Amino acid sequence: MHMTFHQLKIFETVAEHLNISTAARKICISQPSITKQLRLLERECGLKLYVRCGQGIRVTVEGRLLQIAAKPVIKQMEELQRNFANSVAEKRAKTLIVGSTPSPAAFFLSAVLKSFVKLHPGVHPTLRTALPEHMEEMVLNGDIEIALTTVPPEHPEIIAEPIHHEGIVAVVSAKHPLASKGRLNDAELAKAPFVMTEGARIAREVEKLGFKLNVVMWCESVEIKKESVQAGLGVGLFYRGSAEAGLQEGYFKLIEIPRLREIKITCFAIYRKGMDLSVNRQDLLHLLRQWSKNR
């Protein structure tokens, strides 16, 4: 057992007011707890620091010496706590750690973060990407303040707010032989080469519809899939927003696939329950909601 700052603070308050009941109200600690901590402090010092006197206490000579010696230590510790808290608050005001599963990060989060930086030029967001199960873990651990995911979390400590609903489109390179088809029937669909993202939500949703795709290449990221489709390796399935630039610039062509329009995937903003909504996080949530309304 060693003398603690908590014990010194309690003793200083008791010595100042010469009354345990008054000290208990002052520092919001029960009288039995104060008495226990004072007893432990006396045992550590090997000295009698106070004696009971009527309704209050009297500080002994040894206790007064300890009080005098402890004052600058207590003041220094309080300044350290205050300065540290201010430093943390200042750093939090200048940072925002955002997480995202690959698809939202690829097709709309960057545009929202661009608007956020314009609104807060002094804030420097950090974007971390991961698969949905890892994103949930990062939110729970406090590694990120807010995240976007296409898989609603199951953990009761996470709040999930639906932000956006996105459809799926099939595209090929404008130079691919299938570009002139425009539409694939069931027989053509079974033979067409597909480029897919491994473990992604789109692949799981397509599987639920009973599609048996001829996958010629699995990619680790949306960006690699885009490059592979543009290079002519096969058909790619993307969120509409993710393929929009390629369609507008003409290097992607739409391919209609029956039943594909049945897929609508919801993107959720998630954050830990009970966390204070910082100004930065509130503003980012607002921008995410506005982006969805304007789509």
Here the CATH number for the domain that contains residue 192 is 3.40.190.10
Identity of the residue numbered 184: L
From residue 251, give the alpha-carbon distance in Å to each of 71, 133, 175, 178, 217: 73, 34, 8, 13, 20
Tens of pLDDT, residues 177-209: 999 988 998 888 889 999 998 877 888 888 888
Greatest Cα-to-Cα distance within the chain, rounded to the nearest angstrom: 100
CA dihedral sign, ordered 115, 266, 264, 252? positive
Identity of the residue numbered 111: A
The pair of three-digit structure tokens given for residue 285, joined into one six-digit string: 């949530």
DSSP type of residue 178: G
Among residues 67, 90, 113, which one ends one of the domains?
Answer: 90
From residue 29, give the alpha-carbon distance in Å to each of 23, 82, 102: 8, 21, 49
Here the CATH number for the domain that contains residue 14 is 1.10.10.10
**Domains: count for the chain:** 3
Same structural domain for residues 175 and 254?
Answer: yes
Angle among Cα 88, 71, 10 to the nearest 5 degrees reads 80
Among residues 90, 113, 135, which one ends one of the domains?
Answer: 90
CA atoms within 13 A on the CB side of 213: 26
Angle among Cα 47, 52, 57 to the nearest 5 degrees reads 90
* Closest of 97, 96, 102 to residue 129, by C-alpha: 102
**pTM for the whole structure:** 0.59
Among residues 72, 90, 108, which one ends one of the domains?
Answer: 90
Same structural domain for residues 279 and 157?
Answer: yes
Same structural domain for residues 15 and 83?
Answer: yes
Identity of the residue numbered 197: T
Tens of pLDDT, residues 32-58: 898 999 899 888 888 899 999 888 889
16 lies in which domain range? 5-90
Give the integer Cα–Cα distance in Å for 115 and 226: 25
Give the integer Cα–Cα distance in Å for 295 and 99: 22
Per-residue pLDDT of the chain (295 residues; tens, 9 = 90+): 578 888 888 989 988 899 999 988 888 889 889 899 989 988 888 889 999 988 888 999 998 998 888 888 888 888 877 766 655 555 555 678 888 887 777 677 888 888 888 888 888 888 888 888 888 888 888 888 889 998 888 888 999 989 888 889 999 999 999 999 889 988 888 899 999 988 778 888 888 888 889 999 999 888 899 999 999 999 999 988 888 889 999 999 999 988 888 888 888 999 888 766 677 888 888 888 887 777 6
Same structural domain for residues 86 and 101?
Answer: no
What are the phi and psi torsion angles at 168 (to 5°)?
A: -110, 140
Give the integer Cα–Cα distance in Å for 64 and 164: 66
* Closest of 101, 182, 218 to residue 149, by C-alpha: 101
Same structural domain for residues 170 and 160?
Answer: no
Same structural domain for residues 235 and 105?
Answer: no
Identity of the residue numbered 201: R
Same structural domain for residues 115 and 233?
Answer: no
Give the integer Cα–Cα distance in Å for 26 and 215: 70
Which pLDDT score is estimated for 230?
95
